Amino acid sequence: MNQPLVWITGAGGLLGSYLVKTAPQFAPDWQVMALRREALELTDFAALRARFLADRPVAVIHCAAIAHPPACQRDPETARRVNVEVTRQLAELAVNLPLFFYSTDLVFDGKRGSYVETDSPHPVTVYAETKVAAERIVLANPRHTVLRLSLNFGRSPAGNRSFNEMLRHDLAAGKNFALFTDEFRCPTAALVTARATWELLHQRAAGLFHLCGTDRLSRWEIANLLLPHWPPLAGKIQPDTVKNYQGPPRPTNSSMNCDKVQRLLSFRLPGMTEFLARHPEEAA
């Protein structure tokens, strides 16, 4: 008997790859279709529809996105096509199925922190604007789910998708960084996000949830948690304040409260400090 099929878009990226490799453990009763860009261009909507009708998945986990805020600022049109219009197409195709969509803590302006699901988004970047627009599309269907994430870390197939991989690569190349001590996120292991997603899909949990680590950490603190797991690197880091930043707007405290999703999960969401102590290999 054929197992029910779950689509995972963006399977070549960080989170998509963790969903694929954890499926045998956390979703053994389902078959996974790992959709990578070379196999299906999601912005080719005719091809997307044809593939969907041929595969007939029972659920869709939508990871694919342009998730680099500077890239979205440089090319807003492409960012909206990928982040919003692809999501719209998938939401329409999966109208009668569970659809899981990943959003971001950056939908908030970061003036307060500890945001809960009932707090209103206030995006200050093109990237965040596209995620807010996509959230509204997804949440219009009571069967569908939005998971707002913070920074995810781990080991991507290409070795350059997670923030920890990018930082290590740049430091190895001899680049120096000034990292803010007063800009805060709640980093999460991609492994944790994948496990939580599979549990929520099993439960058919629908609606909006915040899903992130329990540690509120500055950029400076995050880097100092990672450095002990790496060999000596040519580049150096030093502390700085966001008050010296001269670029486009950026949230300074986008930390989120995860009490709502924690009540549904069978395990306790860890902070980055605790997770790396148990899984140092995930520092990449």
Check residue 49 and give its pLDDT: 98
Per-residue model confidence as pLDDT tens digits over 90-129:
999 999 999 999 999 999 999 999 999 999 999 999 999 9
Q: What is the pTM of this model?
A: 0.96
- Go through the chain and tell me how many residues it has: 284
Which tokens hold the place of 255?
Answer: 């930390």
Per-residue model confidence as pLDDT tens digits over 205-232:
999 999 999 999 999 999 999 999 999 9
Beta strands 188-189 and 145-149: pairing type? unpaired
Check residue 1 and give its pLDDT: 55
Residue 10, classed as helix, strand or coil, is coil
Per-residue model confidence as pLDDT tens digits over 51-98:
999 999 999 999 999 999 999 999 999 999 999 999 999 999 999 999
The candidate with the shortest Cα–Cα distance to 101, out of 90, 110, 109, 92, is 90
Which tokens hold the place of 94?
Answer: 């999966």
Domains of the chain, earliest start first:
5-158+188-215+256-270 (3.40.50.720)
Residue 107, classed as helix, strand or coil, is helix
Per-residue model confidence as pLDDT tens digits over 234-272:
999 999 999 999 888 899 999 999 999 999 999 999 999
CA atoms of 189 and 15, how far apart (whole Å): 9
Q: Which residues fall within 8 angstroms of residue 66, CB to CB, at 6 or more apart?
A: 72, 78, 79, 82, 83, 127, 130
CA atoms of 183 and 216, how far apart (whole Å): 10
Residue 2: which pLDDT band, with cuts at 50, 70 and 90?
A: confident
Check residue 248 and give its pLDDT: 82
